[in-house]
Amino acid sequence: MSDNVFKNQPSLRALLKAGKPVLGSWLQASSPCIAEIFANAGYRWMGLDVEHTSASYELVESVARAAYGRGADLLVRVSQADQIEIRRCLDCGAQGVIVPYIESAEQAQKAVAAAKYPPVGVRGFAFMRGNNWGVDFDEYAAKANEETLVIGMIESKKGVDNIDEILAVEGLDGVFIGPYDMSGSYGVPGQTQHALVKEAIAKVLAACKKAGKAPGQHIVRSKPEQIQAALEQGFTFICLDGDIIFLDQVSRATLQTAKEVIAKF
């Protein structure tokens, strides 16, 4: 028997179930190379953003291939709770999906159903990259429903209002807060530290704790005190910044340093 995509043990899902913090980052620059760099750096998972980028299925497959064997799981942030899109991303070799803009239990159920094989859901069986082109068919089919992670994004007032019924959906492993959409939904776009946004986040966190599901947060342009606060509050599924943010920050800082050196000549 050879390896399949669920080789990283303990699995991400098991870590989250046990309430352990797992640190990941975000891929938007369409680069398998950056996926390799993130995995080498030690991120336990990475979220490939298909919702807000030009990423193709070819890219999903290339990134899955790049992450494979390096200890990091690939989760794809799909564009919506679409049965075929979720199936294809998992078949490309992703270990899970992050589904944006979940506002109701029905949407969450649809996402879970798409990600799970019958009798739990409606995912179709096939030989595909995820099961090593059929070589690991039996092992993959036996593990997939247990190991495939399904995370719903809560990023609107409606999602916050319906959080208890969303979290009650069996198979939904946790929720991930999108601070920017959340701020937009509360009428304060971009003000992710606004009291209204903080209150909404606190409500989602409390509901996760009550339901025993993983609370997640994307900390965009993270500062140490934000990371500390998120961990102290009990967030476990944590996404730190992302490739475009790291590149923006480091490229600017390096150029600025060089300009300061030149100015002293």
- Please give the positions annotated as active site: 52
Residue selected from 122, 181, 206, 226 as contacting Mg ion according to rule CB under 5 A: 181
Check residue 178 for interaction with Mg ion (CB under 5 A).
yes
List the beta bridge partners of residue 194: none
Nearer of residues 82 and 181 to Mg ion, judged by Cβ: 181
Site for ligand 3PY in 140-179 (CB under 6 A): 155, 178-179
- Say if CB 11 and CB 147 are below 8 A apart: yes
Shortest Å distance, C-beta 188 to ligand 3PY: 13
Closest residue by beta carbon to ligand 3PY = 178
List the beta bridge partners of residue 45: 24, 73
Check residue 159 for interaction with Mg ion (CB under 5 A).
no
Shortest Å distance, C-beta 181 to ligand 3PY: 3
Shortest Å distance, C-beta 18 to ligand 3PY: 24
From Mg ion, ligand 3PY, none, interface partner of 218 (C-beta below 5 to 8 A by class): ligand 3PY
From ligand 3PY, Mg ion, none, interface partner of 91 (C-beta below 5 to 8 A by class): none
φ, ψ at 46 (rounded to 5°): -140, 145
User: Distance from first CA to last CA of the chain, Å, rounded?
Assistant: 63
> Token pair for residue 210?
């009550």
From Mg ion, ligand 3PY, none, interface partner of 57 (C-beta below 5 to 8 A by class): none
Site for ligand 3PY in 215-234 (CB under 6 A): 218
Shortest Å distance, C-beta 136 to Mg ion: 34
Residue selected from 155, 159, 204, 214 as contacting Mg ion according to rule CB under 5 A: 155
Check residue 49 for interaction with Mg ion (CB under 5 A).
no
Shortest Å distance, C-beta 243 to ligand 3PY: 13
| Residue 181, number of CB atoms within 10 A of its CB | 17
Q: b or e along 1-39 (b: 16 or more beta carbons within 10 Å of the residue's beta carbon)?
A: eeebbbebeebbbebbbeeebbebbbbbbbbbebbbbbb
Per CB under 6 A, residues contacting ligand 3PY are 155, 178-181, 218
Per CB under 5 A, residues contacting Mg ion are 155, 178, 181
